[in-house]
Structure 1
């Protein structure tokens, strides 16, 4: 597979290369926010407040579902009156009990690890909130436990439905008084996502399309993605996951300042070397810094620039943290799909992952 950037502005090639309609799925983010917020309200997440504030919140999920838990945790912040923990495995922590709230999140409702955690939560008498597909195994567990259930309306693969999974958790935190997230916020988030989708639309040419431009910078490189804050670290993590699954492309991610204490060493390793006389582009390190407008680690950037390592800076846009995170994630989602299409890779199927899941379920 070779990188051919001209594919990105050829509408026929974009359409033919995306038979699973991943680009339209990415463009559905704003609709996901509005639908998920409505579903959360109609499902009665406000009733969580009737049981009083839990001792802790545990979010169980894998992939995008787990990232929804990270989003909830960063919005609650360090000053939250209770811990928000994301579990990315099939085991519920031993300390979780009847005074805790477990949020089991799965777009398909069939994720083996999440089903295991939800079953254990019900057995221990924990409060349970299931965010999942109707008539799925996870929905059945919630029904049997008389737990709250918020339906998910999937748009493409699970990874393309992040906001359908995250918004109900944010709405639940609002009901519990942990954050303020009213209808106006979700509408602002949806509008920000619509604006980013418009800027990144397939018919917008590469020189004015931020999604295509980012894909072109990432191509033929080894991306090292760093979040400068706890908020933008989630976007860095998300971009790495999307590059893996959509583009089948390797990437590493980290959070500053910790990443500066170990990952920074890659700027002087073998993959940071460049041959200016080479006939073809070398696959070398590119740092991608995802940051807030007022957060720019000059010392770190100086070290990279001094060694000739290229740096891409992505700045979060929006007034509220959720707005900034959403638009940054949307940009990365588009870039991952355009990177796949530029290489002639179908962004939708993930054959190796599907095979692994089949083997686990046997």
Structure 2
């Protein structure tokens, strides 16, 4: 059950936030600036001979998966961007983290025309070192994103890879001990520590469809959004807190329109699981309308009103209901974006046929549908808008719902 009073108590939120997730999200803009400073010298020495046929992104964790999805959305159809997920877990010494035994395998078609990006926040995975050696034998171009001085960064030099630094989070206090020491919660701002070098590299190679990635402006935008969604902003003015409260007691269906919104939707579902311990189901319009239709006719889509005044709240617990969240990228002129007050929910752009069908499906079954839009014309800025809102909402939902206590 959600503790609504905690959302309006900044001191209580700080006490509940034992691993400093809110602090990490507030520092996302700073992570981008630091990462840019650290990768620029290495990228300045890069002399690309055309863009690669495919960019393979290898590693593990939700943050890297989201970064690879965002890169694919921003790259468009000109270059294939494909994640390389771990295939198996081999025995690891007792006490080592789960990731120590992960293994990876290149696709059979990968070769000299392709770029392999190996990324790790720890920089200690033996399986990633083996993958780098495998890619070197195949003639792939290789880039390694890892903390300096770690085994993976050192191995990059042996396979003639381009080393780029991973910027780790810095907190004043150590993170709290958890029962799952080998599977701890991810740093919620690690997405930007991975995405910044990925986009800077892709821009240098000519992979991005939209031209230069304006990462410095995105860092400023994330600073602005962190102020808007800060813990001491009242819940009735803080859209992230409002979204967290709205999700309480629901099964979220996170629908998206367009590749940028789809990447943000997958990220939101991952954060709800990791930070709030809540399941969510994602899908893209229009195909999701058929894929999820059965849920509307099942027990979760009965149309019962959780605000029914006459319902016996002692004998009848709050029903678990469907909640549709529709993420969209609806570009607007900069002047129009600036006129939207911080506490306001942006007015969505005119709906296309698929969106109107989604609205009609939800209305027919009395399921609440709420739209959230990235308004900035630049796809990266729109992605940042959606991710900042949903990241803060997932953390607030976890804190107020007692996840991890």
Taking structure 1 as the reference length, what is the TM-score of the superposition? 0.89
The aligned residue for residue 212 of structure 1 is: 241
For the pair 1:292 / 2:332, whether they are aligned, the reply is no
| Structure richer in helix, relative to its length | 1
State the secondary structure of the residue aligned to 2:82.
strand
For the pair 1:102 / 2:116, whether they are aligned, the reply is yes
For 2:233 and 2:215, locate their aligned partners in 1 and report how far apart those are by CA, in whole Å. 26
For 1:337 and 1:181, locate their aligned partners in 2 and report how far apart those are by CA, in whole Å. 33
Which stretch shows the higher mean deviation, 26-35 or 260-269?
260-269
CA pair 113-265 structure 1, distance change in 2 beyond 3 A: farther
Q: How does 1:242-257 map to 2 (within 5 A)?
A: 242-257=271-286
For the pair 1:336 / 2:394, whether they are aligned, the reply is yes
The structural deviation recorded for 1:209 is 0.3
For 2:218 and 2:394, locate their aligned partners in 1 and report how far apart those are by CA, in whole Å. 21
How many equivalent residue pairs?
342
The aligned residue for residue 236 of structure 1 is: 265
The aligned residue for residue 170 of structure 1 is: 199
Please give the per-residue CA displacement for 1:271-322, whole angstroms capped at 9, x wherever unaligned. 1224443524212111110012247301111111121101121111312100
State the secondary structure of the residue aligned to 2:189.
helix
For 2:234 and 2:372, locate their aligned partners in 1 and report how far apart those are by CA, in whole Å. 19
The structural deviation recorded for 1:226 is 1.1
State the Cα RMSD in Å: 2.0
CA contact (8 A) 1:17 1:346 kept: no
For 1:115 and 1:231, locate their aligned partners in 2 and report how far apart those are by CA, in whole Å. 31
CA pair 295-132 structure 1, distance change in 2 beyond 3 A: farther
For 2:243 and 2:125, locate their aligned partners in 1 and report how far apart those are by CA, in whole Å. 32
CA pair 85-22 structure 1, distance change in 2 beyond 3 A: same
For 2:258 and 2:142, locate their aligned partners in 1 and report how far apart those are by CA, in whole Å. 31
Which stretch shows the higher mean deviation, 53-62 or 223-232?
53-62
The structural deviation recorded for 1:262 is 0.6
CA pair 111-324 structure 1, distance change in 2 beyond 3 A: farther
CA pair 162-112 structure 1, distance change in 2 beyond 3 A: farther
CA contact (8 A) 2:132 2:159 kept: no
Taking structure 2 as the reference length, what is the TM-score of the superposition? 0.80
The structural deviation recorded for 1:69 is 1.5
State the secondary structure of the residue aligned to 1:50.
coil
For 1:9 and 1:229, locate their aligned partners in 2 and report how far apart those are by CA, in whole Å. 34
Please give the per-residue CA displacement for 1:17-59, whole angstroms capped at 9, x wherever unaligned. 01111100011111112112222212x2244443432232111
The structural deviation recorded for 1:64 is 1.1
Which stretch shows the higher mean deviation, 209-218 or 294-303?
294-303
Structure 2 unmatched runs, 5+: 87-103, 171-185, 306-310, 331-348
For the pair 1:58 / 2:56, whether they are aligned, the reply is yes
CA pair 188-229 structure 1, distance change in 2 beyond 3 A: same
For 2:350 and 2:136, locate their aligned partners in 1 and report how far apart those are by CA, in whole Å. 43
The aligned residue for residue 86 of structure 1 is: 83
Which stretch shows the higher mean deviation, 235-244 or 45-54?
45-54
The aligned residue for residue 220 of structure 2 is: 191
The aligned residue for residue 190 of structure 2 is: 161
CA contact (8 A) 2:302 2:365 kept: no
The aligned residue for residue 318 of structure 2 is: 281
The structural deviation recorded for 1:205 is 0.7
